[in-house]
């Protein structure tokens, strides 16, 4: 197949700077015995304003030390009253700190709100893990906690699509996280997960997750993950995720320290051979340096043609150059799993293509180095 090299080059230029592995990016800002409040997560409908969403997460820390989640510079230390109509932070942050950091060559602004007492000053250079404040109950707050918020590219409170879900950026030691995208799901669609994914203790809250309230123009999914739901602080294990009365169902395995795409790891094992030609999304994706590619040679091939058919699985770079031939042989109907090792390749966008008779299917994957 002849690739449109110009198009692939444009894709590479657009996506190349975004490449990051599926790992946590920040350090947890509170002690391990503190839970994220599971009944009021990122992107859920705001308690006091149904037209907008909760733009961060709340961590139930009571008058205790808060630590910097990143290296950076203190950009603001001050007080914002319960003022919902104007000012820099019209949602009532009370005492809060804003730290300017970097991720993936972009400015990241991290907010620590409702503090009792900041213990750092403006323009101070901060090291990840350094104490910065004592948590509290100031501003628009109903009890002591830390509101933690991430904004990308700008600190302005009303900038479009700037918020990111912190639960995909850090976790408790030994925990992972799950993200996914329920197609065409209405805002705040319920996402069920089984068995119980949370370490209890410290968790006493969390029953289900929800898709984000994208009608709030400040809410966005991650640059890499493009999710519309996420579940953080997940114990290592295998889980079933369902939504929309079972029309969305995913089975996903999580390991410690991993941020896992539920959609990519679905249907890893199949009990029956499909009658359809299937090429699944590789997992993990992004990956470094190995990833798994799964496909099905359909049972119909056996009845319509010979018992076995020539199957080819080829990897191309972003310019359409062939970089690997993973399969080139006769195969009988069945489910197949191939491991692709890209340790000799440069990071970037790649395409893998499956050919069977006159059927061709191609998918994109990202090597993050």
> Tokens 């199957």 appear where?
311
Examine the domain organization and report whether 133 and 111 are in the same domain: yes
Task: Answer whether residue 170 is part of any domain.
Answer: no
Per residue in 58-98, pLDDT (tens digit) is: 999 999 999 999 999 999 999 875 444 434 565 689 999 99
Contact by Cβ (8 Å): 146, 224: no
Q: What is the pLDDT of residue 16?
A: 41
Domain boundary among 261, 286, 321: 261
For the chain, how many structural domains are there in total?
A: 3
Q: What is the CATH number of the domain that holds 232?
A: 2.60.40
Write the CATH number for 329.
2.60.40.1930
Residues 290 and 254 in one domain: no
Last residue of a domain, one of 261, 296, 317: 261
Q: Is residue 66 part of a domain?
A: yes
Nearest to 55 by CA among 130, 139, 158: 158
Q: Are residues 275 and 354 in the same domain?
A: yes
With a threshold of 0.75, does the pTM exceed it?
Answer: no
Tell me if 10 is assigned to some domain. yes
Contact by Cβ (8 Å): 315, 323: yes
pLDDT of 302 reads 38
Pairing between β-strand 259-261 and β-strand 176-180 as defined by DSSP bridges: parallel
Q: What is the predicted pLDDT for the residue at 265?
A: 53
Evaluate whether residue 168 is within a structural domain.
no
SS (H, E, C) 44-83: CEECCEEEEECCCEEECCCCCEEECCCCEEEEEEEEECCC
The pLDDT assigned to 297 comes to 83
The Cα–Cα gap between 14 and 249 comes to: 31
CA 256 – CA 130 distance, rounded (Å): 24
Are 43 and 133 in the same domain? yes
Domain membership of residue 169 (yes or no) is no
Q: Is 139 in the same domain as 182? A: no
Report yes or no on 171 lying in a domain.
no
Picking from 135, 163, 191, the residue at the C-terminal end of a domain is 163
> Residue 361 sits in which domain range?
5-15+269-367
Same domain, yes or no: 299 and 189: no
Q: Are 117 and 235 in the same domain?
A: no
193 and 143 in a common domain: no
Q: Is 194 a member of any domain? A: yes
* Tens of each residue's pLDDT in the chain, 369 residues: 444 444 444 444 444 433 333 789 999 999 999 999 999 999 999 887 788 999 999 999 999 999 999 999 999 999 875 444 434 565 689 999 999 999 988 999 999 999 999 999 999 999 999 999 999 999 889 999 999 999 999 998 889 999 999 999 999 999 999 999 998 899 999 999 999 999 999 999 999 999 999 999 999 999 889 899 999 999 999 999 999 998 899 999 999 999 999 987 544 333 344 556 788 899 888 999 999 898 888 765 433 444 567 899 999 999 999 999 999 988 877 778 899 999 999 999 999 999 987 788 899 999 998
What angle (nearest 5°) sits at the alpha carbon of residue 301, between those of residues 300 and 305? 125
145, 190: one domain: no
Residues 50 and 151 in one domain: yes
**Beta strands, E only, 287-347:** 290-297, 309-317, 322-331, 334-341
Instruction: Indicate which CATH number applies to the domain containing 86.
Output: 2.70.70.10
What CA–CA distance (Å, rounded) separates 128 from 143?
27
207 lies in the same domain as 97: no
In a domain, 320, yes or no: yes
Residue 263 pLDDT: 87
**Same domain as 132, residue 72:** yes
d(CA 66, CA 111): 12
**Mean pLDDT across the chain, nearest whole number?**
86
Residue-wise pLDDT for 125-176, tens only, equals: 999 999 999 999 998 899 999 999 999 999 988 899 999 999 999 999 999 9
């Amino acid at each position: 197949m002849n690739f449109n090299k110009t198009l692939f080059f444009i894709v590479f230029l657009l996506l190349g700077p975004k490449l990051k592995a599926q790992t946590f990016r920040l350090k947890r800002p509170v002690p391990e015995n503190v839970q994220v409040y599971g009944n009021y997560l990122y992107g859920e409908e705001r308690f006091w304003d149904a037209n907008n969403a909760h733009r961060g997460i709340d961590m139930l820390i009571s008058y205790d030390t808060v630590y910097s989640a990143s290296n950076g510079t203190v950009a603001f230390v001050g007080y914002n009253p319960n003022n919902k109509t104007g000012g820099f932070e019209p949602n009532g942050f009370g005492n809060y700190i804003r730290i300017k950091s970097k991720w993936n060559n972009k400015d990241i602004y991290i907010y620590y709100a409702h503090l009792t007492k900041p213990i750092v000053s403006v323009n101070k250079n901060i090291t990840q893990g350094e104490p910065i404040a004592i948590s509290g109950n100031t501003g628009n707050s109903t009890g002591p906690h830390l509101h933690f918020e991430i904004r990308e590219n700008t600190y302005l409170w009303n900038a479009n699509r700037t918020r990111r879900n912190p639960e995909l950026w850090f976790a408790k030691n030994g925990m992972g996280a799950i993200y996914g995208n329920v197609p065409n799901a209405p805002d705040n669609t319920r996402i069920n997960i089984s068995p119980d994914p949370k370490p209890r203790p410290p968790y006493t809250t969390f029953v289900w997750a929800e898709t984000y309230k994208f009608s709030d123009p400040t809410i966005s999914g991650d640059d890499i993950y493009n999710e519309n739901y996420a579940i953080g602080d997940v114990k290592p294990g295998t889980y079933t995720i369902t939504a929309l009365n079972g029309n969305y169902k995913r089975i996903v395995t999580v390991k410690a320290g991993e941020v896992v795409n539920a959609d990519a790891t679905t249907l890893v094992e199949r009990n029956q051979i499909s009658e359809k030609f299937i090429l699944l999304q590789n997992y993990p994706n992004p990956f470094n340096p190995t990833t798994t590619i799964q496909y099905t040679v359909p049972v119909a091939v056996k009845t319509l043609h010979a018992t076995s058919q020539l199957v080819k699985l080829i990897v191309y770079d972003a310019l359409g150059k062939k970089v690997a031939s993973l399969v080139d042989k006769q195969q009988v109907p069945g489910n197949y799993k191939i491991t692709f090792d890209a340790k000799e390749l440069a990071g970037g966008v790649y395409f893998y293509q499956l050919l069977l008779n006159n059927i061709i299917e191609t998918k994109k994957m990202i090597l993050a180095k």
